[in-house]
Amino acid sequence: MTPKPEEKVEKLQKTFNVAELEHYRVPDFISVYANNAGFGINFFDLSIVFGQIVSPTNESMLIEDRLAVTMSIEHAKALMMALQDMLATYEKTHGQIRKPSPIEIKS
């Protein structure tokens, strides 16, 4: 039986409590440490390349790219909002997080 148009709209408008969503880890789940991130964007997607700074010196810096995550622009916006909420909660509990200094490598 084909749902009526108003039933389709009702299903699309359903909201979920994120805390109630079921999660499970797949066997090939990957966890990586990153202290560096690079970004790329196009009309459809945003990509984040996570890496680790492994040998910083006064003359150079080596970054090992570890993982790339590509997502839709809409998901990137949702991620940004979730990160802002999480960081605001963290700062209420632990105090303001200092802004990182820009890294400057002189040639």
Question: Across the 107 residues of the chain, what is the mean pLDDT of every consecutive 10-residue run?
Answer: 56 69 91 94 97 85 94 96 96 94 64
Cα–Cα distances in angstroms (integers) from residue 72 to residues 21, 40, 65, 75, 77, in the given order: 20, 12, 21, 5, 9
H helix or E strand, kind and range, residue 47: strand 45-53
Return the pLDDT at 57: 80
Return the pLDDT at 14: 67
Return the pLDDT at 92: 97
Domain extent for 89: 31-96
Domain presence at residue 22 = no
Domain presence at residue 10 = no
Return the pLDDT at 2: 59
Domain presence at residue 52 = yes
Domain presence at residue 54 = yes
